[in-house]
């Protein structure tokens, strides 16, 4: 310490002094100076090696030829190499075979997460929990069937519901009876006056049972909803049910009609992707054995 103090007293100062503390004219530390002069070297090297200088026609390319796209492609290639053996195996398997192979179904579910997120989750939710006026995938109520084959078919070919708008067809009394019938049906009871409306035996002659069945349990071949299980495609409240009856589904004649269209994914996604998606949807918890 003593040596250093002596040096301080000998050192020249700038003439600035605050409370006895003098500002000295010592050189900055050597390590600092070295680092300081290394920075321009670093900059020069960087400018040469990497794309960095902006020209009107685009930036300089750099001697290394590095691009962020190139790095991305390299990374993608790496993961594709890891996935290749699985992908080959999956291409040769049916969706059902994948489902029965725990390792492959695990791979399918995890490798298709991104595709599901990009294409399906907006309507059906990231975990198949559905959304307002969009179908839940995690339950066991299926409009078109919940077997792995049916799920695959739904994704590939898309679906579109069709229900005519019944506005103006029912008298207020008939409407009231029908609503009571639907409410009771969800609890396993039968409201006889309403059942007559439902079967088309009143003046309105609207045979709901043509599509939904005499037992109101729907028909998966045509995608008509099961009205007895308390799970509604759109809205289970009395107002919601009435709205659906009045305006129908996908009825072009009614501007207020409910929209229900599952797009055709067969043209946008590959068969392997759809197989994986079908497995993922099945495993949300609602898949049904055929």
Partner 1 sequence: MSNTTHTATERASDDIKGDEPLSLDELYRESSHHQVNLGAKKIHAKRMPGKFRAFKWKVASLYLFYFIGPFIRWEGGQAILFDIQNRKYHIFGLTLWPQDIWILALALLTFFLSLYVVTAVAGRLFCGTFCWQTVWVDVYTWIEEKMEGSPAQRRALDSAPWDARKLAIKGGKTLIFLLIGVATGVTFTSYFVDVFDLWHRYFSLQGPIEIWVAPLPFIVGTYLGVGIMREQFCFWLCPYARIQGSMQDADTIIPTYDMKRGEPRGRLNKGDCIDCHLCVGVCPTGVDIREGMQEGCIMCALCIDACNSVMKKVNKPAGLIRYASLKEMLGQPVVPLYKRPRVIIYALLIASTLIGIVWGLTHLGTVELNVIHERQPLYVTLSDGSIQNKYTLKIINKGDRPLSIKIALSELPGAVLVDHDAAVHVEPGKVLPLNVIVHVPKALVKKDAMKVEFHILDSATGAFITETESRFIGPG
User: Residues interacting with partner 1, by CB under 8 A?
Assistant: 1-4, 106, 125-130, 136, 138-141, 226, 229-231, 283-286
**Residue 5: what are its φ and ψ, rounded to 5°?**
-60, -45
Nearer to partner 1, 175 or 225 (CB): 225
Measured from the CB of residue 128, what is the shortest distance to partner 1 in angstroms? 7
DSSP state, residue 237? S
* Contact partners, residue 134, CB within 8 Å, separation at least 6: 123, 124, 125
Measured from the CB of residue 283, what is the shortest distance to partner 1 in angstroms? 6
d(CA 19, CA 15): 13
The residue to which tokens 């103006």 are assigned: 168
Measured from the CB of residue 3, what is the shortest distance to partner 1 in angstroms? 4
Nearer to partner 1, 75 or 200 (CB): 75
d(CA 277, CA 85): 19
Token duo for residue 17: 């002094």
Nearer to partner 1, 123 or 138 (CB): 138
Measured from the CB of residue 194, what is the shortest distance to partner 1 in angstroms? 21
Nearer to partner 1, 24 or 283 (CB): 283
Measured from the CB of residue 204, what is the shortest distance to partner 1 in angstroms? 29
Nearer to partner 1, 130 or 145 (CB): 130
CB distance 132 to 276 below 8 Å: no
Which residues face 160 on adjacent strands?
Answer: 261
């Amino acid at each position: 310490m003593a040596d250093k103090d002596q040096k301080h007293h000998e050192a020249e100062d700038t003439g600035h002094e605050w409370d006895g503390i003098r500002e000295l004219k010592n050189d900055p530390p050597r390590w600092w100076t070295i680092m300081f002069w290394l920075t321009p070297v670093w900059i020069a090297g960087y400018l040469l090696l990497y794309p960095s200088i902006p020209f009107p026609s685009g930036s300089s390319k750099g001697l290394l030829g590095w691009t962020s796209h190139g790095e991305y492609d390299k990374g993608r290639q790496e993961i594709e190499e890891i996935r290749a053996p699985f992908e080959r195996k999956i291409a040769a398997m049916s969706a059902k075979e994948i489902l029965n192979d725990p390792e492959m179904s695990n791979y399918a579910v995890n490798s298709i997460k991104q595709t599901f997120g990009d294409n399906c989750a907006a309507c059906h939710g990231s975990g198949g929990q559905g959304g307002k006026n969009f179908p839940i995938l995690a339950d066991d109520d299926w409009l078109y069937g919940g077997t792995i084959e049916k799920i695959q078919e739904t994704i590939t070919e898309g679906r579109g519901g069709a229900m005519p708008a019944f506005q103006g067809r029912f008298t207020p009394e008939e409407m009231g009876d029908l609503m009571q019938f639907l409410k009771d049906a969800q609890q396993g009871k039968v409201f006889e006056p309403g059942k007559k409306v439902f079967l088309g035996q009143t003046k309105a002659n609207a045979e709901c049972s043509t599509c939904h069945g005499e037992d109101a349990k729907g028909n998966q071949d045509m995608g008509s909803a099961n009205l007895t299980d308390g799970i509604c495609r759109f809205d289970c409240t009395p107002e919601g049910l009435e709205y659906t009856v009045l305006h129908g589904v996908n009825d072009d004649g009614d501007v207020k009609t409910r929209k229900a269209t599952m797009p055709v994914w067969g043209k946008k996604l590959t068969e392997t992707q759809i197989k994986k998606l079908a497995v993922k949807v099945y495993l949300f918890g609602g898949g049904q054995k055929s």
